[in-house]
Amino acid sequence: MSFYLTDAEWAAIQLSLQVASLAIAIALPPAILLGYALARWKFPGYTLVNALVHLPIVLPPVVTGYVLLVLFGRQGMLGSFFADVFGIVFAFRWTGAALAAGIMAFPLIIRPVKLSFELSDGQLEEAAHSLGTSRLRTFLLITLPLALPGILSGAILGFAKAMGEFGATITFVSNIPGETRTLSLALYTEMQSLSGDAGAIRLTVIAIVVSIGALVFSEVISRRLSRKLGGQHD
């Protein structure tokens, strides 16, 4: 069996990289802010917010995709707003695939981010405040760098999840060649074809390599973070 990828398979992989990159760009900033809030503050509705953050993990992906279609479809409240004001269309477009992937990846991003903020030394922030440094400047110059390993770990895991997202994507944006057919959707298409075994195997190998690479890279970063924090407390 030849392992040379066809043009359609290359297109699916390139689209997956594009979708996953935009998904992380969408999900990472709110994950950092919300992860910090959940790590440092206790507020009314904390448990509910924490549950909603992790809802995509337990909710069937098809349900998430349908909710996105209702909200961000061309006739949906948010979809019509983005289309009319910004000219951004999500339904049945690759931008919608990125949105779906970002939402499905969000819980995997925020968990290590939140943990990293919880483990960072809050006394350094208090010392900065006592010296007159504003909270925003303290966050940018002290808190954020200390949490960077966890943020990177979350981004890597989220990227891998976004690369392999399927259920919410196919429900929200369908399986359109060259537009929304990402790696996982291309694999699904090959599996439906009577002559698609070779293509399915090639795409499966690529998906496994990407996933293992992301998990290993994330584990390496987590261990370095643990050693660093352990050294600080000795």
In the 8-state DSSP scheme, what is residue 206?
H
Q: Which residues contact 54 (CB under 8 A, 6 or more apart)?
A: 107, 111
Closest CA to 122 of 135, 110, 109, 112: 135
Q: How confident is the model at residue 231 (pLDDT cuts 50, 70, 90)?
A: low
Q: How confident is the model at residue 230 (pLDDT cuts 50, 70, 90)?
A: low
- Per DSSP, the residues of the chain read ---PPPHHHHHHHHHHHHHHHHHHHHHHHHHHHHHHHHHH---TTHHHHHHHHTHHHHS-HHHHHHHHHHHHSTTSHHHHHHHHHT----TTSHHHHHHHHHHHHHHHHHHHHHHHHHHS-HHHHHHHHHTT--HHHHIIIIIHHHHHHHHHHHHHHHHHHHHH--HHHHHHH---TTTT--HHHHHHHHHHSTT-HHHHHHHHHHHHHHHHHHHHHHHHHHHHHHHHHHHHH-
**pLDDT value for 2:** 55
Q: Which residues contact 75 (CB under 8 A, 6 or more apart)?
A: none
- Tell whether the model's pLDDT for residue 25 goes beyond 80: yes
**pLDDT value for 5:** 78
**pLDDT value for 234:** 47
Closest CA to 28 of 147, 149, 144, 155: 155
For the chain, what percent of residues have pLDDT higher than 70? 92
Q: How confident is the model at residue 93 (pLDDT cuts 50, 70, 90)?
A: very high
